[in-house]
A = this chain, B = another copy of it.
Amino acid sequence: MASPEPTRPGFQLPLLLLAGFRTLIDDLHAELAREGHPDLRPLHGFVLQAVGIDGTTASELGQRLGISKQAAGKTVDRLVAVGYLERVDDPADARRRLVRMTPRGVDGLRRSAEIFDRLRERWAATLGQDRVAAIEDDLSTMAATNWFRLDMPGWFGG
């Protein structure tokens, strides 16, 4: 049974995974822009997710995202500038500055989650629930390690 169907060239698979990711993210941000969040960049949603409802610190954020605390701090600066995050002093530890979402940040994150759910439904409507679930299962199997590394620009370029 020597390759009954001619196998696709291997380089297509990463390109397709990237294209899929990009399509979802582009669709997300097109919808977010429509819903009042035109400033949110692809990276920002992930940062908000990593900050979480409870807030965090720049150092911890860096660890969660897989980047340095300095890089995390700069990213927080930008999100503060556009009104999605704020810094507050930690009364219990004068070194720390808590990073937490503003109401606008919470709104953006909530909408992102809703939109992602709708986009997944759209995929399921075209491909079928089972096929989408299969993609998720298979990718979980093959890519379990890289679950939440967000140093995209530096990693890809670098």
Contact = CB atoms under 8 A, between A and B. Distances in A.
A88 interface: no
Given A7-B120, A140-B16, A156 B152 contact: yes
B113 A11 contact: yes
A57 interface: no
Q: Is chain A's binding surface mostly helix, strand, loop or mixed?
A: helix
Interface residues of A, number: 64
Contacts of A136: 8, 12-13, 16
A104 interface: no
A153 interface: yes
Given A120-B7, A120-B10, A146-B23, A127 B131 contact: no
